Amino acid sequence: MGMKRKRRVRLITHSDSLPDFEGVQVGRRPVGGHYLLLAPKILRGLDGEVSSQSVDGHLEVPAERVLFVQVLGG
pLDDT tens string 28-71: 899 899 999 999 998 865 555 566 778 888 999 999 999 999 99
The tally of CA atoms less than 13 A away on the side-chain side of residue 28 is 2
Q: Phi first, then psi: what are they for 27, rounded to 5°?
A: 75, 180
pLDDT value of position 47: 57
Q: Is the pLDDT of residue 13 over 80?
A: yes
Q: What is the pTM of this model?
A: 0.79
The DSSP-derived string for 5-57 is: PPEEEEEEE--TTS--EEEEESSSS-BTTEEEEEEEEEEE-TTS-EEEEE-SS
pLDDT value of position 58: 92
